[in-house]
Amino acid sequence: MFTSQSVQVLWMFFFVRYFTKSDAADRIKFDRNFTGITFNPHISHINDDSNAYSASDIEGMLKVISRRFSHVIVRPAIEAPSTDSSTIQTQSATYTPVIAAKLNRNSQIPQSNSFNFKLKLTIDLVDDATLPAVLTKVDHALHLAAEANSIHPGTVTTLLIDVDDIEKNKSQNMSIQVMSYIRNQNQTLNQDLQVGLWILMEDCGSSSTNIPEYTRLVLQHADLVIFNNLANARQVALGAHITSQSMIRQFSNCEKKLRKSFQYNLKIMWSTSSSSLESEGYSHSYFI
């Protein structure tokens, strides 16, 4: 399965909002081929229900972010469809793959707007998850990916497993089982989706240690990994430019360790945000 003898590194920084200071923005060399965004349509605290937005709402939002981004991680995570026909509602995020595929397809029409979305659909693997429940979500995500890619091939590229705590044996075992299931379904459904993990930066180990064994074990089964580095309150107070330098050093150190540990084509991506700090009184986010 893995033939290349090198590790591919894609510097992809996912973020929600932009710098407000122009001098900070000027220091960033933006390249949409190597920069992506997490897309969560729930932008209003009033309308934060998972069913709050229509397909046309999602289309409008995608058109806005398409001005700068092609690579998109779709949030919230895909859930199993409702089986209660009396109250069935569509999770807003599930509109995203098909709408993005239609926009991609329509780009081929002369004199139309250009879209080139490449989506990663997320599946949450929380501490109390059971394997059957997670696989039901995976099946739904596979269906959405197949539908989108039948409209425009290559719109959905990856199923991304967002793991709560990869250090726990249960999470490790379940992650491996889920990735194996996706690969088998890929063959059954004649799809070519990548299998990815979204884990914390801490799972790469400290600057003076090797890759933790639990991380190395699970990554052997993945096509790509995204290490998420969440800015803390102190880093936010220091400012985006200073904090970014510290984070880049962490990312660089992690990359070097991964190169030594993996002699196959593992794609490495980085993500960061400070959105988790809103509960601590911080309402802004930045990117590096």
CATH numbers and ranges of domains, the chain: 8-280 (3.20.20)
Q: How confident is the model at residue 157 (pLDDT cuts 50, 70, 90)?
A: very high
Is it true that the peptide bond before 76 is cis, omega within 30 degrees of 0? yes
Q: For residue range 125-145, what is the model confidence (pLDDT) as tens digits?
A: 887 889 999 999 999 999 999
Q: Does residue 254 carry a pLDDT above 50?
A: yes
Give yes or no for a contact between 102 and 68, defined as CB atoms under 8 angstroms apart: no
> Which range is least confidently modeled, 10-14, 152-156, 266-270, 271-275?
10-14
Q: What is the pTM of this model?
A: 0.78
Q: From residue 53, give the alpha-carbon distance in Å to each of 119, 132, 201, 256.
A: 19, 28, 32, 43
Q: Is 185 helix (H, G, I), strand (E, B) or coil?
A: helix
Give yes or no for a contact between 269 and 224, defined as CB atoms under 8 angstroms apart: yes
Task: Give every CB contact of residue 265 below 8 A, 6+ residues apart in sequence.
Answer: 2, 3, 4, 6, 7, 8, 223
Locus of tokens 């490449």: 118
Q: For residue range 159-168, what is the model confidence (pLDDT) as tens digits?
A: 999 998 888 8
- Residue 194 to residue 160: CA distance in whole angstroms: 8
Q: Which ranges in 189-266 belong to alpha helices (H)?
A: 213-219, 233-238, 240-261
Of the candidates 63, 25, 57, the one whose C-alpha atom is nearest the C-alpha of residue 44 is 57
Give yes or no for a contact between 225 and 196, defined as CB atoms under 8 angstroms apart: yes
Q: From residue 65, give the alpha-carbon distance in Å to each of 45, 69, 87, 105.
A: 20, 6, 32, 17
Q: How confident is the model at residue 120 (pLDDT cuts 50, 70, 90)?
A: very high
